[in-house]
Amino acid sequence: MTDVKTIKAGESLESITLPPVSRIDLIKYAGASGDFNPIHTIDEEATAAGLPGIIAHGMWTMGNLTKLFTPYLEDGLVTDYQIRFRGMVFLDDVVTLHATVKDRDEKTVTFEIGASKQNGDTALKGEAVYELHGA
């Protein structure tokens, strides 16, 4: 397994490909987050808003993206997450999450992070800063 303590610039964490986005995923996220904007769960509301169909909450995708760092929760702290929402995620889209080291020193590792779709479109793009404990 990749080790965040020794990972070098240009190397990546294990990427994660999510199962195709389902309506129940978004209903669960609506309930857990309290974001009940109906464009995320109800077809008629999405089309009334001019969308081709319901779209995932941007924060659902960002929440998933932070999973890349879950194996390293006890070795340090992600002090900063910065994300731009670049493209919409629709039902049945297959999202892949990735993080690549941009630069690092002994204590701080800066990652380029992102989520991309099966067709190559970018859903999210940004940066994360990971501070190792006790280094």
Which residues of the shown chain bind other proteins in the complex (CB under 8 A)? 18, 25, 28-29, 31-35, 37, 49, 58-60, 62-64, 66-67, 69-70, 73-74, 77-85, 133
Cα separation, 63 vs 5, in Å, equals 23
CA atoms of 19 and 32, how far apart (whole Å):
19
In the bound state with other proteins, the residue whose beta carbon lies nearer, of 10 and 24, is 24
Shortest Å, Cβ 32 to other proteins: 4
Between 8 and 24, whose beta carbon lies closer to other proteins?
Answer: 24
Give the nearest distance from C-beta 95 to other proteins in angstroms: 11
| Minimum gap (Å) between residue 98 Cβ and other proteins | 16
C-beta of residue 45 within 8 angstroms of C-beta of residue 84: no
Which of 44, 66, 67, 64 has its CA nearest to residue 54? 44
Closer residue to other proteins, CB minimum distance, 12 or 77:
77
Task: Please tell me the distance from the alpha carbon of residue 102 to that of residue 125, in angstroms, as a whole number.
Answer: 13
